[in-house]
Amino acid sequence: MKFGVVVFPGSNCDHDTYHVISKVLGQPVDFIWHKDERIDGYDAIILPGGFSYGDYLRTGAIARFSPVMRSVKGFAASGGLVLGICNGFQILCEAGLLPGTLLRNRDLKFICEHVNVRVERTDTPFTVSYRKGQVLSIPIAHGDGNYFCDIDTLRELESDGRIIFRYCDARGEATDAANPNGSLANIAGICNRERNVVGLMPHPERASESLLGSNDGRLLFLSLATSLSEMLKLRA
Amino acid sequence: MKITPEIIEQHNLTGDEYRRIAALLKRAPTFTELGIFSVMWSEHCSYKSSRIHLKRLPVEGDCLVQGPGENAGIVDIGDGWCAAFKIESHNHPSFIEPYQGAATGVGGILRDIFTMGARPVAALNSLRFGPVRDQDDSAEAAGSVIARNRRIMTGVVKGIGDYGNAFGVPTIGGEVVFADCYSLNPLVNAFALGLVRREQIFYGKAEGVGNAVIYVGAKTGRDGIHGATMASAEFDDAALEKRPTVQVGDPFAEKLLLEACLEAMRSGAIVGIQDMGAAGLTSSSCEMGARAGTGIEINLDLVPQRETGMTAYEMMLSESQERMLIVAERGRERQVHEIFARWDLDAVTIGRVTDDQKLRVVHKGEVVAEIPNSALTDEAPRYDRPQSSGNEAVHVDPAPYLNEICGRIAGEIGSSDLHDVLTECLRRLLASPNLACKQWVWKQYDHMVRTNTVVLPGADAAVIRVKETRRSLAVSLDGNGRYCSVDARAGARLAVVEAARNVVCSGARPLAVTNCLNFASPERPEVMRAFSETIDGMSDACRALGTPVTGGNVSFYNETEGRGVYPTPVVGMLGVIEDTRQITTPWFAEAGDRILLLGATGDDLGATEFLESLGGVVAGGVPELDLEDELAVQRTCLRAISAGLLRSAHDCSDGGLAVALAECCFSHYRRDSLGARLDLREHLDLSGIRAMADADRRMLALLFGETPGRIIVSAAPDRADAVMALAAQEGADCAVIGEVGGDRLSISLGAHTLIDERVDVLEKLWRESLPGHLDRAGLDER
Amino acid sequence: MQAKVYVTLKNGVLDPQGKAIHHAAETIGYRGLTDVRQGKFFEIKLDETLDAETARIEIEKFAHDVLSNPVIEDYRVEIVG
């Protein structure tokens, strides 16, 4: 199995994601330059955090026009696993791979802190190693993480079980006080209809080593690896 | 253009200086040359008032790879790795436009680091503002001033955050201090730290005659023209009209510049490189030539320009951000151009290295400037400015103020019971802006990107691991303008040892220092006297610690409408932790652990946070420092950590012992708050104040005095004796003062309770203070 | 020739920046402001050889595809000679 981490010129969590996959997970991984159009040979693609092209217009607005994103769309359409973290989530929304968008945080400030996130669904390739309802401690670091979509889309996300993570308090209650940025329905992460594309604002790669305080994000990468080896077995 | 006395004055040059320019050139300067001299001879670039004093700082040490004079200092941290680090001020731009001023301050210091070939891995900053809470709304600080201070602080914090966050460097700590004198003179000192392999270090030298001079990065516009001279003049009301010259930062461009520069350095085509910071193209070209003993000739027609019709004068003085000057091997220019093109950045060969030791500038076929490098660098004026006489200041006894504070608080709470009054003092101190939790600030900084932040902000020192080794690096920024306003020499010594103590508390051995010296006008003899004293105090302490000063920055003219800042030297101490597993934090870890206090307490209530926060006065002398005792305490702490004896270590300084103990109790990520029961009897027995006649004053000194050289440590019950034994070996005072547990902080002296309060009550006051003052800041400028 | 593009938030999409400005304006003492919405304004210089109609089509497309996000934003294009 092989992971690809896309590098936009303003990506800044690319090395962190690479580090977790190679050193913590022990899996092969490459950087993929945003100008590359070919992404053959990868089993999962990760769009890391950062400020893709400066993000002066809107977060992720320019990135979706990059050559690599055309290929990522094709890869997703053919069932490939795509994970967008933070800026990666914003790009996936702009590119139409996930519905909705991420607005400026409710209090207008950039927020960097550990938050509690509840695992809503374990029936995605990204969350199989979690328990449903498990409360994770994972950092967020964003200025635009306030998830928004129209009411029909929200209904569809709810009814299809596509809300994967919600902000919650320490006891797992998705209260307004536990919502750091004003996201609709406390949404921290969602998936597409086919469940092979997931985007989330929290940074699992920053919570994958006990030295950094939390290990709770590691299971997301572990889920990904487990799912991939299952898929590869089936294919073989 | 004819050069008139008015024009000379507008360039902040004196008549003597102008005559000196003409003598060095052996002719009258052109207008462009006058501009070039004015920036290079400005205080900011030439250090003309400070140079003769800076020479007294110790600059030698075993770990030293690069001392002062380059873009940043470099020390060896082992395993072939080096750390490049530096602190620099961006005070004046941050006053004029807080958001952009602070942002470009961060951008500048990051470039200083990566021009050395080092990838920036951490940023910190030391910030000083005027009062931001309503109750400080005295005649000194009217409501509009408070509102302005809040706006400046909000803008500065956002500027630092937006730049560092987008660039991708974690901003992991620093200090935020409030005092009246910073109301119209905010101090914004930005620090950055980078890592580089020893054999991959680059320097700002234009070596090799015939080599190509390449301009890379953003295009040149008219921004910041005369930024360097602005930073060398006092503000008056007209300064606000200088707004159009403010530089605007582009963190995305800087990120591209970083990646492209590091890639170009790896290619082997680059000979030397320097940031175009203050005085942009001018300083980079003449300094690189001067360091290598060569010259540089550039053709301005080739410089990428953002605006039309720019003159040679404007291009040479522009301070457009995110630009670098590179000297590349002759014949390999294309390779460099291609690397920058890959990152969508301009890279243009604009000149050559020459052998005549001159800076020669050509524009539209004409030589518009031709100046020997030495005239701009070594021959720049140096002043031994007059200092006021060195009479010992007579300090008033703070006793009446102490009595006033305690009496007033007793009246307000309706109890004169000692323990009620002391407990109320602690509550108020914890909520005072200087001591309150600074989470409001650091939450806006991405402090975790690069996943090396092994200690979250709020500890004594910021700590990052070095992934490639088993080591970690600790950094602390410290300064105390209040102390220095009373006694600059003692204040500077205290700042250095406190920075070292903070680093030691994290488990690090102090290695080296960078400093940022923020002062008012050097043309005032008392300011110059304080500056000179600061240098001597800093030198003493650095020599005692064995930590060389590797560089830094001097910022004079921090005064507005005749009112200057406190002498405010800020020390950035870098330390190395040999084994990442030894990282120690200030927070108590487990109920039942023994609490020990290293060091003794003196009668050090003068110039304290207690007096300033609760009484609004600065009175008395500064805390007394015994360097030998201090070092014994630091050695004990470090040895105890290395031996694995300690569960926590926390420096005891601003606000005194009671505040420090409360901080040890407060909750922390994934650790609830913990109480502590303490009895200070044994500690008092070691301390000079035990014989004091005035019992109330003795209690105040014990709880709120700021005697240096004290560290609160905690250890498992069966390890306490070993810590005591280590202290005895090192000659440090040490006493068991209590035990971790419960949900209250209770401090007693034998049978007398001094302080008793629930920890969650104290923590709430401490945590909610700053947001309460700042989130009502009103219209955010951005 | 120049194009001006105004990008504004759709009705119903929360605009925390506009709200903050509105609140601040009231605090400072400006009267009679019932709502503030913040948007973006772009000035685009155009090739003089382009005719107005082609320019409009091109800029409309640019505004729709790039400058705005249809999920939350509306846009308006003006071509000025």
* Nearest residue to B157 (alpha-carbon basis) of B225, B94, B245: B94
Q: CB-based burial of residue B309 (10 Å sphere; 0-12 exposed, 13-18 middle, 19+ buried)?
A: exposed
**Chain B CB within 8 Å of residue C27 CB:** yes
What is the per-residue pLDDT for B392?
66
Question: Cβ of B256 under 8 Å from any chain A Cβ?
Answer: yes
Q: Point out the least confidently predicted range of B25-34, B382-391, B703-712.
A: B382-391
pLDDT tens figures, A64-93: 889 999 999 999 999 999 999 999 999 999
Chain C residues touching residue A104 (CB < 8 angstroms)? 16-17
Provide, rounded to the nearest whole percent, the portion of chain B with pLDDT above 70.
Answer: 95
Q: What is the pLDDT of residues A97-144, one digit of tens each?
A: 999 999 999 999 999 999 999 999 999 999 999 999 999 999 999 999
Instruction: Note whether B448 contacts A: Cβ–Cβ < 8 A.
Output: yes
Quote the number of domains for chain C.
1
The answer to whether the CB of B129 falls within 8 A of the CB of B93 is no
Q: Which of B11, B44, B92, B447 is catalytic?
A: B44
B724: phi then psi, degrees, rounded to nearest 5? -60, -40
User: Cα-Cα-Cα-Cα dihedral of A33, A37, A39, A44, to 10°?
Assistant: 70
The pLDDT of residue B659 is 98
Residue B85 pLDDT greater than 70, yes or no: yes
B90, B337, B419, B447: the catalytic one is B90
Q: Which pLDDT does position B3 carry in this prediction?
A: 86
pLDDT tens digits along A157-185: 999 999 999 999 999 999 999 999 999 99
Tell me which of 3.90.950.10, 3.40.50.880, 3.90.870.10, 3.40.50.150 is the CATH number of domain A3-235: 3.40.50.880
A148 touches chain C (CB under 8 A): yes
Chain C neighbors of A182, CB-CB under 8 A? 14, 16
Q: Provide DSSP, B431-477.
A: HSTTTS--HHHHTTS---TTS-EEE-TTSSSEEEE-TTSS-EEEEEE
State residue B240's pLDDT score. 42
pLDDT score of A222: 97
| Per-residue confidence band for B229, with pLDDT thresholds at 50, 70 and 90 | low
Angle at C16 between CA C11 and CA C19, to 5 degrees: 85
Between residues 665 and 704 of chain B, which touch chain A (CB distance below 8 Å)?
669-670
Confidence of residue A214 (pLDDT cuts 50, 70, 90): very high
Contact A112 B447 (CB under 8 A): yes
Give dist(CA B88, CA B553) in Å, integer: 5
For residues B112-139, average pLDDT? 90
Binned at pLDDT 50, 70 and 90, residue B234 comes out as low
Q: Does B250 touch chain A (CB under 8 A)?
A: yes
Q: What is the mean predicted confidence (pLDDT) over B744-765?
A: 97
Pairing of β B734-740 and β B594-598: antiparallel
| Residue B49's pLDDT band (cuts 50, 70, 90) | very high
Tell me the whole-structure pTM to 2 decimals: 0.94
Q: Are strands A163-168 and A197-200 parallel, antiparallel or unpaired?
A: unpaired
- Say whether pLDDT at B465 is over 80: yes
Are C28 and B778 within 8 A, CB to CB? Answer: yes
Residue B544's pLDDT band (cuts 50, 70, 90): very high
Q: Which pLDDT does position B782 carry in this prediction?
A: 34
The SS3 assignment for B595 reads: strand
| B396 three-class SS | coil
Task: Kindly state the average pLDDT of the residues A21-43.
Answer: 94
C-alpha to C-alpha distance for B377 and B423, rounded to whole angstroms:
57
Residues pairing with A176 in the sheet: none
Which tens digits make up the pLDDT trace of B275-309?
Answer: 998 778 999 999 999 999 999 999 999 999 988 88
At B324-351, the pLDDT tens digits run 999 999 999 999 999 999 998 989 999 9
Burial zone of C12 (CB within 10 Å; 0-12 exposed, 13-18 middle, 19+ buried): exposed
pLDDT band at B42 (very low <50, low <70, confident <90, very high): very high
Measure the CA–CA gap between B401 and B395, rounded to whole angstroms: 13
Least confident of A46-60, A213-227, B71-85: A46-60
Domain ranges in chain A are: 3-235
Residue C52 lies in domain: 2-80
Q: Does A33 touch chain C (CB under 8 A)?
A: no
Burial string for B530-560 (b: 16+ CB within 10 Å, else e) reads: bbbbbbbbbbbbbebbbbbbbbbbbbbbbbb
For chain B, the chains sharing at least 3 beta-carbon pairs closer than 8 angstroms are A, C
How many interchain CB pairs under 8 A, B with C?
11
The amino acid at residue C65 is D
Contact: A54, B344; criterion CB under 8 Å: no
CB B173 within 8 A of CB B442: yes
Task: Give the pLDDT mean for B226-248.
Answer: 57
Predicted pLDDT of residue B391? 65
Residue B777 has pLDDT above 50, yes or no: no
Query: pLDDT tens across B482-520, in order?
Result: 999 999 999 999 999 999 999 999 999 999 999 999 999
Mean pLDDT of chain B, nearest integer:
93
Give residue-wise pLDDT tens across range B415-457. Answer: 999 999 999 999 999 999 999 999 999 999 999 999 999 999 9
Active site residues of A: 86, 203, 205
State the pLDDT confidence band at B138, using cuts at 50, 70 and 90.
low
Residues of chain C contacting A150 with CB distance shorter than 8 Å:
71
Q: Residue B164: is its pLDDT beyond 90?
A: yes
Nearest to C20 among A62, A94, A108 (CB): A108
Distance CA B742, CA B676 (A): 6
Chain A positions in Cβ-Cβ contact with residue C14 (cut-off 8 Å) = 103, 148, 182
Rounded Cα–Cα distance for residues B200 and B202 (Å): 6
Q: In whole angstroms, give the CA distance from residue A217 to residue B357.
A: 58
Length of chain C: 81
CB contact under 8 A, A62 and C66: yes
Q: Could you tell me if C24 lies within 8 Å of chain B, comparing CB atoms?
A: yes
C residues 6..35 contacting A (CB < 8 A): 13-14, 16-17, 20
Q: C-contacting residues of A 115-144, CB under 8 Å?
A: none
d(C-alpha B297, C-alpha B182), whole Å: 43
Across residues B312-329, what is the average pLDDT?
94
CA dihedral B401, B407, B411, B412 (to 10 degrees): 40
Q: Do B572 and B81 touch, CB atoms closer than 8 A?
A: no
Is B226 assigned a catalytic role?
no
Q: What is the mean pLDDT of residues A188-215?
A: 97
Tokens of B184: 């119209």
Q: Which pLDDT score, from 0 to 100, does residue B622 have? A: 95
Q: Is the pLDDT of residue B1 over 70?
A: no
pLDDT tens over chain C, length 81 residues: 899 999 998 887 878 788 878 887 887 788 899 988 889 999 999 998 889 899 999 999 999 989 998 888 999 999 987
Query: How deeply is C40 buried, as exposed, middle or buried, from its count of CB atoms within 10 A (0-12, 13-18, 19+)?
Result: middle
Nearest-CA residue of chain C relative to B777?
A: C24
Q: Do B449 and A214 make contact, defined as CB atoms within 8 angstroms? A: no
Locate tokens 């068991």: which residue?
Answer: B736
pLDDT of residue B136 exceeding 90: no
ipTM of the complex: 0.97
Q: Please check the confidence at residue B554 and state whether its pLDDT lies above 50.
A: yes
- Picking from A51, A114, A137, the nearest residue to B252 by CB comes out as A51
Sort out which chain A residues have CB atoms less than 8 A from B443's CB and list them. 109, 111-113
Question: B177 with B128: CB under 8 angstroms?
Answer: yes
Alpha helices in B705-774 (DSSP H): 720-730, 759-774
The CATH code of the domain that includes C42 is 3.30.1280.10
Average pLDDT over residues B198-204: 95
Q: What's the whole-number mean pLDDT along residues A187-213?
A: 97
- Chain B nearest C-alpha distance from C53 (Å): 30
Distance CA B156, CA B28 (A): 42
- Across the interface, do A107 and C16 touch by the CB < 8 Å criterion? yes
SS3 B565: coil
For residue B618, pLDDT beyond 60: yes
State whether A56 and B780 contact (CB < 8 Å). no
Please state, as a whole number, how many other Cβ atoms lie within 10 Å of the Cβ of residue A204: 27
The minimal CB distance from A15 to the residues B344, B450, B580 is found for B450
